[in-house]
Amino acid sequence: MEDQGVWEVVEPEEGALTLSAADVTKATTKDKKVRAHLQQCLPDDLLMQVAKKKTGKDVWDSLKARFVGADRVKDARLQALKSKFDAIRMKDDESLDQIVGKLTAMPVKYNSLGGSLDDAALGKKLFHVVPDRYLNVVAGIEQFYDLKTLAFDEAVGHLKVFVERMRRGAGGMRSEGGQVLLT
C-alpha cells in the first residue's frame, strides 16, 4: 500500500489534522482503496469479521488486535518444540532410520515457527541419543571430525556404515534370531 501512496491512511503522520475540502476527498478515496486492498487479501472467515468496519484504519486496527498475540503463540510453540527436541531418546528396539526420521523432521518444524536448527545441533543430538552399542563409532567420529562443521547427513552415513558392517560381520556367526552359533 506504500507503493500506491495510501499507507498514510492506515498510519497517519503527525500534524496532518487540518484538511481542506480537496484533501478530504483525496483521503476518502485513499481510505476506500485501503479498505478494498485489505478486504481482497483476507480469507472469508476474517472478511466477515471486518466487513462492518467503516474505514481502512478500522479494518487494519481490527486485524492488528486479532494477530498481536500471534508472535507470543509462535514463541510458546517454539519453546515447546525445543523441549520435545531435548526429550527425544532412542529406544533399544528403535532403528537408526526411525530416530533419524524424528530428528530430520525437527528443522522443518523449527523453520515454520521462525526458529532454526542447524546440522551441528542435529549431529550432536544424534550422537547423544544413540545406544551404547554405537559408542565406538561415535567416539571415532568425535575424535576425527569437527562436529561444528560435520553435516548431519554425513554423520548419519557414518553410523549407517557402522550398522551395515556390524550386520555383515556378525551375519556368519549369528542365527536369524540373533543367537551366537558356535562350532
Q: Where are the domains of the chain?
A: 7-67, 77-171
Give the pLDDT band (50/70/90) at residue 29. confident
pLDDT level of residue 114 (50, 70, 90 thresholds): confident
Mean pLDDT of 39-50: 78
The pLDDT-based confidence of 87 (bands split at 50, 70, 90) is: very high
pLDDT band at 179 (very low <50, low <70, confident <90, very high): low
Band (pLDDT 50/70/90 cuts) for residue 24 is confident
Q: Give 180's strand partners.
A: 174
With H, G, I as helix, E, B as strand and everything else as coil, classify residue 163: helix
CA atoms within 13 A on the CB side of 24: 4
Q: Please state the pTM of the whole predicted model.
A: 0.56
Which residue from 118, 128, 102, 111 is spatially nearest to 152, judged by alpha carbons?
118
Question: Span 36-45, mean pLDDT?
Answer: 79
Task: Give the pLDDT confidence score for residue 71 in this predicted structure.
Answer: 74
Q: Which residues contact 4 (CB under 8 A, 6 or more apart)?
A: 33
- For residues 51-85, b (16+ Cβ closer than 10 Å) or e, as one string? eebebbbebbebbeeeeeeeeeeeeeebeebeeeb
The full length of the chain comes to 183
Has residue 168 got a pLDDT over 60? Answer: yes
Contact between 50 and 59 under an 8 Å Cβ cutoff? The reply is yes
CA pair distance 116, 110, nearest whole angstrom:
5
Segment 119-141 shows an average pLDDT of 91
How many CA atoms within 13 Å lie on the side-chain side of 6? Answer: 19
- The yes-or-no verdict on residue 50 having pLDDT over 80 is no
Q: How does residue 170 score in pLDDT terms, banded at 50, 70 and 90?
A: low
**Mean pLDDT calculated for residue range 74-87:** 90
Q: How far is CA 134 from the centre of its chain?
A: 29
Share of the chain above pLDDT 90, in %: 30
Cα–Cα distance measured from residue 119 to residue 149, given in angstroms and rounded to the nearest whole number: 8
Confidence of residue 160 (pLDDT cuts 50, 70, 90): very high
Q: Which residues contact 55 (CB under 8 A, 6 or more apart)?
A: 9, 31, 35
